[in-house]
Structure 1
Amino acid sequence: MTAISLTHLVANSIEAWGHVRPLVTFCARLVKMKTDLYVTLLTTTVMFERLIREAGRSFDEGDESSQRLRIVCVGPSADMVGDGLIGPMWKALAAEEDLICQQTGISCNALPAPTVAIIDLFALENTGVVRAFSGSSVKIYSWWPGLTYYGLYEFGDVHVGGLGNIRVRAEQESRQSGRPYHDVVKEIFFTKSGNLVRLPSLPPMYDYEIHPQDFDIPDEAIVKFFPKVNEVVAMTDGVILISFQSWEKEAIQATRDWMTETGRAVYTVGPLLPTASKRKAVANEKIQSPESACIQAFLDETLARSGGYSLLYISFGTIFFPSKTSEKLWAFLDVVMELDIPFLMSRASPRCVVPEEVKEKVKAYGKGLISAWIPQQMVLDHPATGWYVSHGGHNGLTEAIVSAVPLIMWPFVGDQPVNAVLVTDVHKVGYELLREVRSGSGLRKIFRTGYTPIGTIEAVKDEARDVLRRAFGEDGKEKRTRLQALQQAALGDWDEGGASRRDVTAFLASL
């Protein structure tokens, strides 16, 4: 094909909305900022249609830069990782051949071979495919779709406070002890002895507090990719962090220091939210929920009946849910209704099963709504919304900060417990249900308070009453005011001269 003076970047994420949603938003920003850049986002069948709609939230009518973002389906995945599926597509891209979208059957015109790839840190085989096929001719950046602190702790080198190369450690221990590799890996990740974890500028925590809920992570994740993330990140040319300077400055700097040791780059790109007009962004979000009209009406009715900041929004995202202790959530809802607080709850997680008894209570209450899929940014931007009960996933937390909706944290695993500490102890913009909703090893002594949770239903209700009364009282107003200042700082990270704007400009200049 005839050489064209343009740059071609390829992006890929695992099959998880919290990973791929910010990635498509970032890709949209890139093509809007660099007029000679084409981006091909490779995704799986499950995510394809949703990503098409989500991408539309970043482009207004007539924005021709949208034509330089191509979302191409590689086909169905047998698991949420989809590893290795990009192989045939990558070979076609490298050979400057047309691509056939496996969802639509439409042929995508050939482009110059890609010179840059952004690949999810958990998409291990896909990273290997690109490196093995294209060698050093393609720069690979690891996409970190969550809190930077978490990436450092779980997947960083030992000398920066991380767990290091878990695969090598587990294989050595397995050979020496005769124990199965799978068991050794689970022990490294989840069997905690009560050692103190000290992360930059955070209060110390016991290691078991990093997993305060008894939540099953699929064995496939534990064995297939968790142990190998550290060494795969080591083969990349740098990392792209979806977090932002005003949220976790110290962790970002620690990551820069770590990568600088090997001459690799770190780019911070958050907060990542759609860039189209509010009307277009909201419209494209609404069409992703068949219940959006009902939810909009419920929000408007709540505002008229109960006033601004009166509604409690509850969501544990698309994966997490307190399924092993769901009775604690229903007890929490009892207190919400007892205190006459209007609420809207998402049940998007497949783990969420609402008992008939709870449905009847909510119906009789008349000020609550439980929905399968909620247009979250629409809810957070609505003047009726006062507080957000969240598991602490980084995308939902980012949306809450940008909408200045303070948080009540109910974390499980991953980056969520550290986000809860940032919310409560560092930025002081919310509360954590710190004691009684914990389960499993989380019911052990809490370092920050010295308290050992009881975990009974009555204890859950007592804590819920205390937190909710403070949230909807004067203390909550102070936290909202503090969050509004943080909101402006976060938005400022993308203003001219802001930290994320500078980093993304530097990234584009390096292409």
Structure 2
Amino acid sequence: MNLSAPDAHLVSFAFEAWGHTRPLIAFTARVVKTRPVLVTMFTTDAFYDRVQKELSRSFEPGEEAYRSRLRLVSIAPGNTFEEEPLNEAFAAAWRKLLKGEDLVCTKTGERFPTALQPNALVVEFFSQGPIREVRASRGNKVKIYIWMPNMLAAFWRTCGPEDMGGLGDAHQKVTEEAQRTGKSYEEVAYNMIFCGSGKVIRVPGLPPMYDYEYHPQLFSFLQQMGGARFTESFETLKLADGIISVTPESYEREMVRATRKWCEENSKQVFVVGPLRVSGPNAAAYEKELSAASADAEAFLQDCLAAYGEKSVLYISFGSFFWPTENPEVLWTFLDVVMELNIPFIMSHASPLATVPDAVKTKVQTYGKGLMAAWNPQQLILNHPATGWFVTHGGQNSVLESLTAGVPQIFWPFEGDQPLNAVNMTENFDAAYELVEVRTRYSDKPIFRNGKKPLGTLEAVKAEARDVLTKAFGEDGARKRERLLQLQHEVLSEWDEGGASRRGFMNFLDSLRA
């Protein structure tokens, strides 16, 4: 395959959050396969091997020339929650690009020679350091696009203007409150971003919610991470030239309209490009390599298909980071009900914070219809005919993977966009269930849309689990599945000729040369 020489250079950078990085990999792979664009993707040593395998899923045999346009460069050992070292590593690598010096991968030692000067950057919405570095070094000569791998509504709640349900200029508000009260900036920022006071929040396209409904779980690690990294996002958004969102328009129609209106008023571009699916022989093969449990999972699903039929298996996963650390007995109580109802299940516990007691492992082994592993091949599981329902934290990546696979969800949200995805799928589309008795934070406060207060007991968790699981695998669940399949059709059509995501993607490529 002979390809024309690249005439644009795109740099991409996402921090160590797999739900953020995975769709960015798919996006950049589409870029190099569609136009003569050189892509330099920065990552960390800790993520390098996983990113490399995920990249391999996007290229089939005969597409090696396309793959050569995408350079994967680790720039630091990496730690998601030590932001400053990553910012410094980005700045050093960026300056080398501008000087025409070779880049050296810190993971492999591979050298990448002088290439085209970068003319565009795709970067996380809370990456203030890289954004300021680029503006300081290249002014407006490099276009900066904010990467939004989460639900648009959640982004605007944290980083958007107040008339869209957002916090507005949170940095200024935090600074003023810290000066007024004598509290530290970090403490005030955490309280503003992650705590609720009972204020009713109205975000375009979603039912009104109390602010504390955005934070349904105790998760002390958020305090370690802090809220300060989010408070300047509204200001850095102003420095950017545009937004790239992985949400499908049909999933957030009203919010997409509101986003386009805001961007138009502020001379910015918005490119809606979701969902970013990876398919083909290599996609399936390399996903199996990402998980040591792939063979066991596939065999388990095949056995369940033969013994119990289609849509019989429950898949449980809270993604690569979240876990009920403060009250894990809630999860084991839920799992007891799954086994009581004789439902075969696969459970992932990929979070570095996850621990599974020996007593639980023994119970599952005795049950004989459960499979537990730290990292399971999620797309393989969701696309298998034996899989019936997905208990999920509700991160955007998981929601879209489940939606495009046609598997309905039972939401157990923690933070970020998860509570909003739960409300969107349950209230707006009536295609899912949400567990509320599993809430461990603000569990004594009512839910705005129905006035219900969780009881906060393990007996209430059991009762809700029995009710939801019985409905899910019964007639009510079949009705919700039909509604999900209608939404699936709309979402998948976004990439058809004339679809919103195809248009958004092509418009983005055109912008690289504008």
TM-score range, shorter chain: over 0.9
Q: 1:355-388 deviations in whole A, cap 9, x for unaligned?
A: 1111111011000011111000000001100000
The one of 169, 173, 178 aligned to 1:165: 169
Is the contact between residue 328 and residue 457 of structure 1 (CA under 8 Å) also seen in structure 2? yes
Q: 1:372-408 deviations in whole A, cap 9, x for unaligned?
A: 1100000000110000000000001100001000000
Q: 1:225-245 deviations in whole A, cap 9, x for unaligned?
A: 111111111111111111110
Q: Give, in angstroms, the shift of residue 259 of structure 1.
A: 1.6
Q: C-alpha distance in 2, partners of 1:370/1:510? A: 46
Is the contact between residue 41 and residue 71 of structure 1 (CA under 8 Å) also seen in structure 2? yes
Is the contact between residue 19 and residue 145 of structure 1 (CA under 8 Å) also seen in structure 2? yes
Is the contact between residue 260 and residue 270 of structure 2 (CA under 8 Å) also seen in structure 1? yes
| Residue 396 to residue 191, structure 1, CA distance change in 2 (3 Å) | closer
Give the aligned partner of residue 112 of structure 1.
116
Give the aligned partner of residue 496 of structure 1.
497
Q: C-alpha distance in 2, partners of 1:418/1:13? A: 23
Deviates more, 1:195-204 or 1:218-227: 218-227
Q: For 1:28, what is the secondary structure of its paired residue?
A: helix
Give the aligned partner of residue 395 of structure 2.
393
User: How many residues are paired up?
Assistant: 505
TM-score, with length taken from structure 2:
0.96
The one of 261, 264, 271 aligned to 2:265: 261
Q: C-alpha distance in 1, partners of 2:160/2:134? A: 22
Give the aligned partner of residue 409 of structure 1.
411
Is the contact between residue 6 and residue 38 of structure 2 (CA under 8 Å) also seen in structure 1? no
Is the contact between residue 395 and residue 417 of structure 2 (CA under 8 Å) also seen in structure 1? yes
Give the aligned partner of residue 450 of structure 1.
451
Is 2:195 aligned against 1:197? Answer: no
Is the contact between residue 14 and residue 122 of structure 1 (CA under 8 Å) also seen in structure 2? no
Give the aligned partner of residue 467 of structure 2.
466
Q: 1:167-213 deviations in whole A, cap 9, x for unaligned?
A: 21111121122222222212212332212111223221111111111
Give the aligned partner of residue 57 of structure 1.
57
Amino acid in structure 2 at the alignment position of 1:443: D
Q: For 1:469, what is the secondary structure of its paired residue?
A: helix
Give the aligned partner of residue 121 of structure 1.
125
Q: C-alpha distance in 2, partners of 1:190/1:39? A: 35
What's the RMSD between the two structures over aligned residues?
1.5
Give the aligned partner of residue 28 of structure 1.
29
Is the contact between residue 317 and residue 393 of structure 2 (CA under 8 Å) also seen in structure 1? yes
Is 2:3 aligned against 1:7? Answer: no
Q: C-alpha distance in 2, partners of 1:221/1:134? A: 31
The one of 344, 347, 366 aligned to 1:364: 366
Q: Percent identity?
A: 45
Q: For 2:94, what is the secondary structure of its paired residue?
A: helix
Give the aligned partner of residue 38 of structure 1.
38
Is the contact between residue 6 and residue 37 of structure 2 (CA under 8 Å) also seen in structure 1? no
Give the aligned partner of residue 213 of structure 2.
209
Q: Give, in angstroms, the shift of residue 77 of structure 1.
A: 2.4
Is the contact between residue 84 and residue 129 of structure 1 (CA under 8 Å) also seen in structure 2? no
Deviates more, 1:316-325 or 1:99-108: 99-108
Is the contact between residue 11 and residue 118 of structure 1 (CA under 8 Å) also seen in structure 2? yes
Q: C-alpha distance in 1, partners of 2:232/2:346? A: 39
Q: C-alpha distance in 2, partners of 1:31/1:443? A: 51
Q: For 1:324, what is the secondary structure of its paired residue?
A: coil
The correspondence of residues 137-156 of structure 1 with structure 2, limited to 5 A, is 137-156=141-160
Q: C-alpha distance in 2, partners of 1:112/1:186? A: 41
Q: Give, in angstroms, the shift of residue 450 of structure 1.
A: 1.3
Amino acid in structure 1 at the alignment position of 2:403: I
Is the contact between residue 54 and residue 285 of structure 1 (CA under 8 Å) also seen in structure 2? yes
Is the contact between residue 15 and residue 80 of structure 2 (CA under 8 Å) also seen in structure 1? no
Q: For 1:493, what is the secondary structure of its paired residue?
A: helix
Which structure 2 segments of 5+ residues have no match? none
Q: Give, in angstroms, the shift of residue 460 of structure 1.
A: 0.5
Which structure 1 segments of 5+ residues have no match? none
Is the contact between residue 209 and residue 442 of structure 1 (CA under 8 Å) also seen in structure 2? no
Q: 1:235-281 deviations in whole A, cap 9, x for unaligned?
A: 11111111110111111111111121111001111101214x1x210
Q: For 1:245, what is the secondary structure of its paired residue?
A: coil
Is the contact between residue 437 and residue 460 of structure 1 (CA under 8 Å) also seen in structure 2? yes
The one of 399, 411, 429 aligned to 2:431: 429
Is the contact between residue 92 and residue 98 of structure 1 (CA under 8 Å) also seen in structure 2? yes
Q: C-alpha distance in 1, partners of 2:193/2:143? A: 30
Q: C-alpha distance in 2, partners of 1:280/1:367? A: 30
Is 2:277 aligned against 1:273? Answer: yes
Q: For 2:156, what is the secondary structure of its paired residue?
A: helix
The correspondence of residues 299-314 of structure 1 with structure 2, limited to 5 A, is 299-314=301-316
Is the contact between residue 208 and residue 442 of structure 1 (CA under 8 Å) also seen in structure 2? no
The correspondence of residues 227-246 of structure 1 with structure 2, limited to 5 A, is 227-246=231-250
| Residue 203 to residue 78, structure 1, CA distance change in 2 (3 Å) | closer
Q: C-alpha distance in 2, partners of 1:84/1:228? A: 18
Is the contact between residue 388 and residue 407 of structure 1 (CA under 8 Å) also seen in structure 2? yes
Is the contact between residue 391 and residue 410 of structure 2 (CA under 8 Å) also seen in structure 1? yes
| Residue 165 to residue 29, structure 1, CA distance change in 2 (3 Å) | same
| Residue 223 to residue 415, structure 1, CA distance change in 2 (3 Å) | closer
The one of 77, 86, 94 aligned to 2:90: 86
Q: C-alpha distance in 2, partners of 1:220/1:465? A: 35
Is the contact between residue 379 and residue 385 of structure 1 (CA under 8 Å) also seen in structure 2? yes
Q: C-alpha distance in 1, partners of 2:183/2:58? A: 50
Give the aligned partner of residue 441 of structure 2.
440
Q: C-alpha distance in 1, partners of 2:172/2:142? A: 27
Q: Give, in angstroms, the shift of residue 483 of structure 1.
A: 1.1
Q: C-alpha distance in 2, partners of 1:98/1:179? A: 46
Q: C-alpha distance in 1, partners of 2:97/2:194? A: 40
